[in-house]
Structure 1
Amino acid sequence: MTDNDIDTSDIPPLDDDFFANATLRMPKKKISVTLEIDQDIWEWFAAHGEQYQTKINTALKMYANETRKQQNS
């Protein structure tokens, strides 16, 4: 699926009101760690371009946030 295949017709445009009320949220301090992951996972992220480490971090953050939601409900 490409970006052009995604139907975004139900998403309102980001107007001046949105940006006037937006809040800048900076990530917390990052730490450097050594982590063992499966080779196929590493290769998949690395094959999807630069900043693959940021993408791995984002995937882990999404998983952690969803797990927190489920634990709190």
Structure 2
Amino acid sequence: MSENKHDIAASSLDPADDAPEWTDEMFEIAEFSIGGKVIRPATGYLGPNGVVRGRPPLRARAKQQVTLRLDPDVVERFRADGPGWQGRINEALRKAVGL
């Protein structure tokens, strides 16, 4: 009886193919550990446009968490536009009070 054997190595995908190339600067800020023991802690973080050093900047005035009751149709309308609906409500309220 004859079987079709496939070359597994040729047909498998390498998950590293989608990974971005690391730059020297990325290696400089990365945490270095051996066996779970941190040898050198990280000195920065990767931002949307590459390497950013230090802690992310804080807002001048942090937003306040509040409990607010809204009509269901208002919430549904903002949620219908997808992620970021709470920020859009905040922007609508800012416009309504003239900010």
For normalisation by structure 2, the TM-score amounts to 0.38
Q: Which has the higher strand share?
A: 2
How do residues 20-35 of structure 1 correspond to structure 2 at under 5 angstroms? 28-35=61-68
- Consecutive unaligned residues of structure 2, counting only runs of 5 or more, are 1-58
- Consecutive unaligned residues of structure 1, counting only runs of 5 or more, are 1-25, 67-73
C-alpha separation between the residues in 1 aligned to 2:90 and 2:60? 11
- The alpha-carbon distance between structure 1 residues 46 and 28, as it changes in their structure 2 partners (threshold 3 A), is same
User: Alpha-carbon deviation of 1:27?
Assistant: 6.8
C-alpha separation between the residues in 1 aligned to 2:73 and 2:60? 28
Of 47, 51, 58, 2:80 maps to 47
Q: Once superposed, what is the RMSD of the aligned Cα atoms?
A: 1.7
Q: Which has the higher helix share?
A: 1
Q: How many residues align?
A: 41
Deviations 1:21-72 (A, max 9, x none): xxxxx67320001000000000000011110000000000000117xxxxxx
Structure 1 stretches of 4+ moved >3 Å = none
